[in-house]
């Protein structure tokens, strides 16, 4: 035992500190970052779906928006590449990647059939990605910049309501996390997540067309188990995937959910448009699951209007 051996105080402090962070690493079960090299791209391309699950009327244009101003998910470039691979290999979509917030001007949004927000995490103070970027690029009056940020948010909401599609991937739920209007659009706001851990993902309805790629018992993968607030309580969506709360370790002690379930992915309509939120995945290793690749492809088809399925909210 360490206590049985004499260790000078300075070295003991360093040793205890090292052990502390080692234990934290073991407990969180973070997966190591994967290099997005030619071998990884070829691996994903090899297991990506050859074709879509649902008929395609015409090739659609997709914007994958990958700007972050807050927490940087190392999986951002992998996610964008994965979305390009499944879109191009299936032949159903043409993908444009961007980090330019001018894409949220009405004339630019109209170029696309759907927008995918790829881990577009905002800073924790305002929790407004548009404000963060405008403030970083300009010394203009704060009120003017916030007005511009709110206009961009309104542009996105109107885009969906007029028939555009929106897919929100993992941390992108925090894009405008303090906005009630954005929370309603997405179906939730981010609350917090315990450390990464193995999660048994289950299907709400194995018969739903969008989850047909998965085994009926679901699947297991390592991820951050997200908990939500704000519009999530309205349950104004059709859930697709969930985990049992009792199975999630290291929850906040004063908020521990020992019963019930938390949803991981859902769909909803708003106006003439379609929205999908998908929490998996924080790690590129999850994209090595061909069933998950098919699920993302199905989701893109849903938000562009190719899929006629039940998206009625469960709060009815």
Query: Can you tell me the distance from the alpha carbon of 177 to that of 86, in angstroms, rounded to the nearest whole number?
Result: 29
H/E stretch holding 270: strand 261-270
Measured CA to CA, the distance from residue 98 to residue 95 in angstroms comes to 10
Is residue 123 a part of any domain in this protein? yes
Q: What is the mean pLDDT of the chain?
A: 91
CA distance 192 to 203: 22
The confidence score (pLDDT) of residue 206 equals 97
Look at residue 135 and tell me if it is in a domain: yes
β-pair partners for 115:
63, 166
Nearest CA to 291 out of 253, 241, 252 is that of: 241
pTM of the model: 0.90
With helix as H, strand as E and coil as C, how does 94-145 read? EEEEECCHHHHCHHHHCCCCEEEEECCCCCCCCCCHHHHHHHHHCCCCHHHH
274-292 pLDDT, tens digit each: 999 999 988 989 999 999 9
14 falls within a domain:
no
Residue 253: predicted pLDDT: 87
Closest CA to 82 of 71, 67, 97: 97
- Please count the structural domains in the chain: 1
pLDDT at residue number 256: 86
Q: Quick one: tokens of 138?
A: 């300009």
Residues of the chain predicted below pLDDT 70: 1-29, 316
| Cβ 171 vs Cβ 224: under 8 Å | no
Whether 276 contacts 160, CB under 8 Å: no
Domain that holds residue 178: 34-303
In a domain, 28, yes or no: no
Using a 10 angstrom Cβ sphere, with 0-12 exposed, 13-18 middle and 19 or more buried, the burial of residue 249 is exposed
* Vertex 298 angle, CA 294 and 301, to 5°: 140
| Contact criterion met (CB below 8 Å) for 114 and 164 | yes
Instruction: Determine the longest span between alpha carbons in the chain, in angstroms.
Output: 74
Residue 7 belongs to a domain: no
Does any domain span residue 19?
no
The pLDDT value given to residue 167: 98
Q: Classify residue 22: in a domain, yes or no.
A: no
CATH code for the domain of 251:
3.40.50.880
Q: How far apart are CA 15 and CA 267, in angstroms?
A: 49
Give residue 281's pLDDT.
Answer: 87
CA distances to 103, 211, 280 from 266, rounded to whole Å, are 25, 11, 12
Whether residue 101 lies inside any domain: the answer is yes
């Amino acid at each position: 035992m360490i206590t049985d051996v004499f260790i000078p105080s300075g070295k003991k402090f360093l040793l205890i500190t090292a052990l502390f962070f080692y234990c934290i690493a073991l407990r969180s079960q973070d997966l190591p970052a994967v290099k997005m090299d030619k071998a990884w791209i070829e691996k994903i391309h090899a297991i990506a779906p050859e074709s879509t699950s649902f008929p395609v009327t015409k090739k659609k244009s997709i914007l994958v928006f990958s700007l972050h101003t807050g927490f940087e998910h190392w999986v951002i470039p992998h996610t964008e590449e994965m979305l390009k691979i499944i879109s191009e290999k299936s032949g159903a979509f043409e993908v444009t990647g961007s980090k330019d917030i001018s894409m949220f001007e009405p004339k630019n949004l109209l170029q696309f059939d759907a927008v995918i927000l790829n881990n577009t995490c905002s800073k924790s103070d305002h929790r407004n990605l548009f404000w963060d970027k405008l403030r970083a690029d300009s010394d203009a009056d704060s009120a003017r910049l916030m007005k511009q940020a709110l206009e961009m948010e309104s542009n996105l909401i109107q885009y969906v309501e007029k028939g555009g599609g929106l897919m929100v991937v993992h941390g992108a739920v925090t894009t405008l996390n303090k906005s009630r209007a954005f929370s309603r659009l997405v179906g939730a706001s981010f609350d917090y997540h315990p450390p990464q851990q193995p999660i048994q993902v289950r299907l709400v309805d194995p018969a739903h067309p969008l989850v047909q790629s998965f085994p009926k018992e679901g699947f297991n993968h390592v991820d951050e188990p997200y908990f939500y607030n704000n519009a999530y309580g309205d349950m104004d969506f059709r859930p697709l995937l969930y985990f049992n709360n009792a199975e999630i370790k290291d929850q906040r002690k004063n908020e521990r959910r020992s019963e019930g379930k938390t949803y991981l992915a859902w769909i909803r309509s708003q106006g003439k448009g379609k929205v999908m939120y998908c929490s998996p995945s924080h790690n590129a290793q999850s994209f090595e699951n061909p069933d998950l690749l098919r699920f993302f492809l199905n989701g893109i088809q849903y938000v562009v209007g190719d899929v006629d399925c039940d998206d009625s909210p469960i709060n009815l």
